[in-house]
């Protein structure tokens, strides 16, 4: 069974902010515009650059250590991240897009997918290219004159994203069934969103080396030989412009991670850091109205080994203290091979915390909830970490707020 290319009008728009964090910093500070800029988790030499400006990228600086970036460009301006500012830009970005249609899906802090099906723009026969130009203009006026975006328009999310990557920065491209083959002709497999090194190797093994060969591969080959499952069928449709990526996933877990600046084997020190991670995760879990049924603890070590363990529990996990109790038990079950460099925790199997189901033998469970709610109310009113467990005393500058890359549910 062969399926032809999707010939419907392209109504999906993919928009991403160019070099998001770096360009917002350049917008905020005109003195660093047109200069190499890197936003790093820590500005010390061992800190990692999360985003670099186009000027820095032109000199080979992408995600790397600050010391390596300085070796490539000694005039690079390194800045710490400013999450609140990026959240603000994300919200403004979203407000602008929602003026055009209500079907706006944030994919990350700097990426949106907009579906114009049934929108006023379509009903009034407006050209989506002029809508794209108008959006660019709105962004310049309302976020800042230095901020540019890439816009791609296609019949599905995949092709819209491909189009958005064709002419960076500040591009505006459309892929339709008419120019699809020509567009693929100029791309490599790795230019396709979702194709990583492993997928590329898998395709190469099946003698597929270009996107055009990928497009022309028969469905049975993709389904049975290359991807061995439904994923192959999805790729067959995706490459032809049919929508298979519009699924909305529910919340499955909440977690936090911390790179330990001062590597240590001291269990008490690690427990204090763990408590703060538990508090951050617990606050987010409760803020979104969930409770969990499992915890995970992961540790990274100096010798680059990694350890992780999860545990399911019968009773619900709601308070910071419960998360801490379970993760601390996991922590005590391992002997550190070397000093700890990373700690990550997560709570999973989350479900709505309303209504509260009381167990017959839960004792003072309601009392614990009331105490947690009271502490959360105080922190909401007077600021994060106003009231904390005693083991977290004097930790104000440890595990500070970080920018999220994927999820925008806390924005």
The residues assigned a catalytic role are 111
x/- contact string, 88-117, with another protein (CB under 8 A)? xx----------------------------
Question: Which has the closest alpha carbon to 287: 377, 370, 348?
Answer: 377
12-31: contacts with another protein (CB under 8 A): 24, 27-31
Provide the sign of the torsion angle of the four alpha carbons 36, 38, 43, 45, taken in this order.
Answer: negative
- Asked whether position 376 contacts another protein by CB under 8 A, the answer is no
> Where does this chain touch another protein (CB under 8 A) — which range of 191-199, 231-239, 311-319, 382-390?
382-390
d(CA 162, CA 113): 12
Range 42-71, binding another protein (CB under 8 A)? 43
Q: Which residues, 6 or more positions from 213, have their beta carbon under 8 angstroms from its beta carbon?
A: 207
Under the binding rule (CB under 8 A), the answer on residue 78 touching another protein is yes
State the Cα angle at 406 between 399 and 104, rounded to 5°. 130
Both tokens of 82, joined, read 């400013």
Report the helix count and the strand count for the chain, using DSSP H and E.
15, 13
Q: Is 397 in the site for another protein (CB under 8 A)?
A: no
By the rule CB under 8 A, 379 interacts with another protein: yes
Element housing 340 (H / E): strand 340-348
Smallest distance from the beta carbon of 383 to another protein, in angstroms?
4
- Write down the least CB distance from residue 154 to another protein, Å: 32
Q: Which is nearer to another protein, 29 or 253 (CB)?
A: 29
Q: Which is nearer to another protein, 32 or 328 (CB)?
A: 32
> Which of 5, 18, 35, 339 is in the footprint of another protein by CB under 8 A?
35
24 or 164: whose CB is closer to another protein? 24
Of residues 28 and 187, the one with the C-beta less far from another protein: 28
Which CA distances in Å does 67 have to 47, 63, 137? Answer: 8, 12, 37
How far, in Å, CA of 312 to CA of 156, rounded?
39
CB of 76 to another protein, least distance (A): 6
Q: Which of 256, 302, 248 is nearest to 282 (CA)?
A: 256
**Does 380 interact with another protein (rule: CB under 8 A)?**
yes
- Smallest gap from Cβ 288 to another protein, in A, equals 17
Query: Strand (E) positions, 2-79?
Result: 12-17, 37-40, 49-52, 77-79
Binding site for another protein (CB under 8 A): 24, 27-32, 35, 43, 74-79, 84-85, 87-89, 144, 379-384, 386
């Amino acid at each position: 069974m062969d399926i032809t290319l999707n010939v419907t009008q392209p109504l999906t728009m993919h928009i991403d902010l160019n070099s998001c964090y770096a360009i917002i910093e350049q917008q905020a500070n005109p003195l660093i515009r047109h200069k190499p800029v890197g936003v790093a988790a820590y500005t010390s030499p061992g800190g990692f650059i999360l985003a670099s400006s186009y000027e820095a990228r032109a000199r080979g600086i992408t995600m790397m250590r600050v010391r390596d970036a300085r070796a490539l460009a000694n005039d690079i301006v390194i800045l710490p991240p400013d999450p609140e500012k990026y959240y603000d830009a994300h919200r403004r970005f979203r407000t602008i897009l929602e003026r055009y249609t209500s079907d706006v899906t944030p994919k990350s802090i700097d990426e949106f997918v907009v579906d114009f099906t049934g929108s006023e723009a379509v009903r009034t026969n407006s050209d989506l290219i002029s809508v794209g130009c108008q959006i660019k203009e709105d962004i310049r006026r309302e976020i800042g004159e230095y901020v540019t975006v890439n816009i791609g328009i296609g019949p599905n999310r995949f092709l819209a994203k491909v189009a958005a990557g064709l002419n960076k920065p500040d591009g505006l491209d459309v892929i339709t069934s008419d120019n699809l083959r020509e567009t693929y002709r100029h791309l490599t497999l790795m230019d396709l969103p979702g194709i990583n090194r492993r997928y590329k190797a898998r395709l190469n093994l099946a003698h597929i080396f270009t996107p055009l060969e990928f497009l022309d591969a028969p469905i049975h080959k993709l389904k049975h030989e290359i991807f061995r499952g439904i994923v192959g069928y999805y790729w067959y449709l995706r490459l032809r412009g049919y929508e298979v990526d519009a699924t909305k996933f529910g919340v499955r877990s909440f977690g936090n991670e911390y790179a330990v600046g001062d590597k240590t084997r001291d269990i008490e020190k690690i427990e204090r850091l763990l408590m703060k991670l538990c508090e951050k995760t617990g606050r987010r879990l409760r803020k979104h109205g969930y409770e969990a049924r499992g915890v995970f603890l992961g540790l990274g070590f100096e010798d680059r080994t990694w350890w992780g363990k999860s545990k399911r529990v019968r009773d619900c996990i709601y308070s910071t203290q419960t998360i801490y109790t379970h993760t601390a038990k996991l922590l005590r079950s391992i002997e550190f091979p070397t000093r700890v460099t990373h700690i990550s925790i997560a709570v999973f199997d989350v479900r709505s915390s309303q209504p509260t189901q009381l167990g017959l033998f839960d004792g003072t469970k309601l009392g614990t909830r009331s105490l947690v709610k009271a502490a959360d109310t105080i922190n909401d009113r007077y600021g994060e970490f106003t009231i904390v467990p005693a083991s977290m005393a004097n930790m104000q500058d440890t595990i500070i707020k970080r920018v999220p890359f994927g999820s925008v549910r806390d924005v």
